[in-house]
């Protein structure tokens, strides 16, 4: 079975409850496509939240090691979150 546990890259949401955080991760896709393609994803939490917007934000992707591509914290991250959510809602 492929590894799906936490990679330990995500900042502790409870410890940083007073800080908005946005991170972008990527990991090689499953199977032969992983030689040329990655699966990216965005995680975020607002100021005051003690959880991210997904269950396991920094989990290995079907056994593949992930990389942190981008991180924003504070006011810049807080300002991005509504735009991220709008993009999610408009995705076909």
The tens digit of pLDDT for each residue in 50-78 reads 999 988 999 999 899 999 999 999 999 99
Query: 63 in a domain, yes or no?
Result: yes
Query: 84 in a domain, yes or no?
Result: yes
Query: 15 in a domain, yes or no?
Result: no
User: Number of folded domains in the chain?
Assistant: 1
**What tens digit of pLDDT does each residue of 17-48 get?**
999 999 999 999 988 898 899 999 999 999 99
CA-wise closest residue to 10 among 48, 47, 37, 50: 50
For residue 73, give its domain range: 21-90
Query: 3 in a domain, yes or no?
Result: no
Element (H, E) at 86: helix 75-90
Query: 7 in a domain, yes or no?
Result: no
Tell me the C-alpha distance between 55 and 63, whole Å.
17
The pLDDT of residue 10: 97
């Amino acid at each position: 079975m492929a590894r799906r546990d936490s990679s330990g890259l995500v900042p502790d949401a409870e410890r940083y409850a007073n800080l908005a955080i946005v991170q972008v991760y990527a990991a090689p896709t499953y199977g032969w496509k992983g030689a040329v393609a990655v699966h990216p994803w965005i995680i975020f939490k607002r100021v005051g939240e003690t959880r991210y917007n997904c269950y396991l934000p920094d989990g290995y992707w079907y056994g593949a090691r992930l990389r942190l591509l981008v991180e924003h914290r504070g006011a810049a991250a807080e300002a991005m979150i509504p735009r991220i959510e709008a993009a999610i809602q408009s995705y076909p």
